[in-house]
Amino acid sequence: MQAAIESSIPGLDEIHQAADLVYQLMPATPQYTWPLLNERAGAQIWVKHENHSPVGAFKVRGGLAYMDWLKREHPETTTVVSATRGNHGQSIALAAARMGIRAVIVVPHGNSREKNQAMRSLGAELVEHGEDFQAALEHAQHLEQENGWHWVPSFHRLLVAGVSTYALEFLTAVSGLETVYVPIGMGSGVCGMIAARNALGLATRIVGVTSKHAPATALSFVRGEVVEHAVSTRIADGVSCRKPVEEALSIMRSGMERIVEVDDDEVEEAMRIYFADTHNVVEGAGAVGLAGVLKDATSGSCVGTVVTGGNVDSDVFAAVLLKRHR
């Protein structure tokens, strides 16, 4: 079983190949340690700023790797279809457009207006279906079968190879990280961190952070099997997973130390802290990692986390900031 898991994780050569693709579009994103944030946490915290990517989120890296493979191996492809709450969809839309491929993206009703606008601006055709991400995903799979389009999953080895490049940058730029806290949605981000950590032969502990209001991944991690559970988070839509991917779960159980769960109030406080201490705008899912660091007393003296995205609707962010004055 362990050998099978290891074979499904991209190695160092594959991550470097993905990095060559990524750097054709964007430079490496920065990582900073912020004095006010350190003072607040009582530890040195390094933050990897994936909100500084061309789509404001780490997902763009995976889309570039996947679409490069698709164009080379299946040049006949004219249309891809996928499901998203926003950042994965932006990644696929941008990468597909670069390859001259049509992208149809399914989002649930009530999805972020500004993320929807961003996906359309990148060339995506949006379809609204269902009340949550899982319903949108199942409809996207139906469209694939009905129309013969190419299905782009939310989790795939190629996506992991692409997003592993952020982790490779982070772990090579900052030595001595004891623990890294990574938000978990469908799993590519944390599996990318596991892949890079393993490839570099480091002892850095990896802690996943999820929303208490989307407990399927935490339940699945403990039980060792996929557990489906309803989601109710009001702020961390990017980690609102109702049904984890079995392959991602296997990798997480093999390479991740544990999971910390945070509630919506803790996520909103982390969003406010990021703005006050660093003046970065961070979406709910992007702030989950910091919420985990601040909640977890066993984090260590030198820890890292990643702002996975900064794509929060203006009115939502304004409401979060105003709560501190009530």
pLDDT tens track for 96-152: 999 999 999 999 999 999 999 999 999 999 999 999 999 999 999 999 999 999 999
What is the H or E stretch that residue 212 is in? none
Give the residue from 313, 310, 293 showing the smallest Cα distance to 302.
293
Specify the amino acid at residue 67: M
DSSP sequence for 246-281: HHHHHHHHHH--EEEEE-HHHHHHHHHHHHHHH---
Question: How high is the pLDDT of residue 7?
Answer: 57
Question: How high is the pLDDT of residue 1?
Answer: 45
Question: How high is the pLDDT of residue 263?
Answer: 98
Question: How high is the pLDDT of residue 147?
Answer: 97
Asked whether this chain's domains 2-57+157-325 and 60-151 adopt the same fold, the reply is yes
Question: How high is the pLDDT of residue 324?
Answer: 72
Q: Any residues with CB less than 8 A from the CB of 201 and at least 6 apart, and which?
A: none
Question: How high is the pLDDT of residue 97?
Answer: 97
Question: How high is the pLDDT of residue 127?
Answer: 97
Delimit the domains of the chain by residue range.
Answer: 2-57+157-325, 60-151
195 contacts 160 by C-beta, under 8 angstroms: yes
Q: For the structural domain made of 60-151, what CATH number should be given?
A: 3.40.50.1100
Q: How far apart are CA 9 and CA 5, in angstroms?
A: 7
**Domain covering 2-57+157-325, topology:** Rossmann fold (3.40.50)
* pLDDT tens-place values along the chain, 326 residues long: 444 445 579 999 999 999 999 999 999 999 999 999 999 999 999 999 999 999 999 999 999 999 999 999 999 999 999 999 999 999 999 999 999 999 999 999 999 999 999 999 999 999 999 999 999 999 999 999 999 999 999 999 999 999 999 999 999 999 999 999 999 999 999 999 999 999 999 999 999 999 999 999 999 999 999 999 999 999 999 999 999 999 999 999 999 999 999 999 999 999 999 999 999 999 999 999 999 999 997 667 899 999 999 999 999 999 999 987 54
